[in-house]
Amino acid sequence: MRAVTSAPAPADRKPLRGVASRRSALGVAWAMAASAAAPALGLYLRRRARLGKEIPERLSERRGIDDSARPAGRLIWLHAASVGETMSVLPVVAAIRCLAPEVTVLVTTGTVTSAGLLEQRLRSDHPGGRVI
């Protein structure tokens, strides 16, 4: 039978200079590309809003800007990127509401369709509840 040995301690390993330098160079290149593309984001989002793929009143949220006050107390944040994920998160929201009714549940979505579906379902399933 062969003995199992553990991996050498980090001090025993040689540094991966080539890999590390490529990672940092890629990170710098990515940051530069993102900074250069940032001014076009507003144009892109407005175009998506004209095509019905964004809610015009909520475009600032796509840039991480939201003036809504945070509700008092505990908050659980769930994100559902698509319609399928939105349908999957609904039973989770219901379970949270049953187990901890004092908790506010924040559900965010990635598409206009899933946001509409979520609003419709939560309004009928949780009227006056602490789900935003």
pLDDT in tens, 20-40: 555 688 888 989 998 998 888
Write out the two tokens for 5: 């040995």
List, for residues 58-106, the tens digit of each pLDDT value: 888 877 788 888 888 999 999 998 999 999 999 999 999 899 989 999 8
Q: How far apart are CA 11 and CA 20, in angstroms?
A: 17
Q: How far apart are CA 119 and CA 112, in angstroms?
A: 11
Q: What is the pLDDT of residue 58?
A: 83
Q: What is the pLDDT of residue 128?
A: 53
Spatial contact of 122 and 97, defined as CB atoms under 8 Å apart: no
Q: What is the pLDDT of residue 56?
A: 87
pTM: 0.62
Q: What is the pLDDT of residue 110?
A: 84
Q: How far apart are CA 89 and CA 97, in angstroms?
A: 12
Residues 119-125 have a mean pLDDT of: 77
Band of pLDDT at residue 57, cut at 50, 70 and 90:
confident
Write out the two tokens for 32: 């530069």
Place of tokens 């507003």: 42
Q: What is the pLDDT of residue 70?
A: 86
